[in-house]
Amino acid sequence: MLTLLPVALPLLLFASGPDDIPKKLRASIGGFPGPSFSVELQGRVLIYTESRGSKGTRRVEVTPSAQQWREFRHELDALNVWRWRENYPNASAMDGTQWSLEVEYAEQAIRAHGSNNYPNATGEPSNASDPTRAFRAYLATVQKLLGGRPFA
């Protein structure tokens, strides 16, 4: 007969496992003339930076919960960021929005960046200067991991 300890279940619900937190996470978005945002994982803490030109720069440490990390990974998988290309250029735009994403888990990794061009739901470039629905969902995923802090 199998006996479960009543304390074990709550620990499983709230503990983050080694696969929940990526080995590496760096993301940024911004450009001329607007604000820019970046986030970098250092240990188990995210270093979030918000730059607003003459209004200054704000740097905050954010420690996501185990649940936030699980949701972040689930949403990255649902968005299929693993199929994104490495580069999304737009040669016809001189100024505008540049973005980058680098995330690495034990079994998957992605490094992508773009300039006024964004991946669509299948990872193909949109060739449009406005973010795609898939890219806006990615931005919302990062913002959620940051506890609602702006990331776009």
pLDDT at 1: 41
Q: Can you read off the two tokens belonging to residue 116? A: 């006024």
Q: Please tell me the predicted confidence (pLDDT) of residue 8.
A: 41
Rounded Cα–Cα distance for residues 150 and 75 (Å): 18
pLDDT tens figures, 103-147: 999 999 999 999 999 999 999 999 888 999 999 999 999 999 999
In which band, very low, low, confident or very high, does the pLDDT at 10 lie, cut at 50, 70 and 90? very low
Answer yes or no: is pLDDT of 13 > 50.
no
Residues 47-69 have a mean pLDDT of 94
Mean pLDDT value of segment 77-82: 97
Q: For domain 19-145, give the CATH superfamily.
A: Mago nashi (3.30.1560.10)
Q: For 33-51, what is each residue's pLDDT tens digit?
A: 789 999 999 999 999 999 9
Q: Give the pLDDT band of residue 53 (cuts 50, 70, 90).
A: confident
The domain limits of the chain are 19-145
Give the model confidence (pLDDT) of 83-108 as tens digits: 999 999 997 877 789 999 999 999 99
Per-residue tokens: 108 = 């998957």
Strand order in the sheet with 24-31: 57-62, 45-51, 36-42, 24-31, 97-104, 109-115, 87-88
The predicted structure's pLDDT at residue 7:
42
CA dist 3 and 5 (Å) reads 7
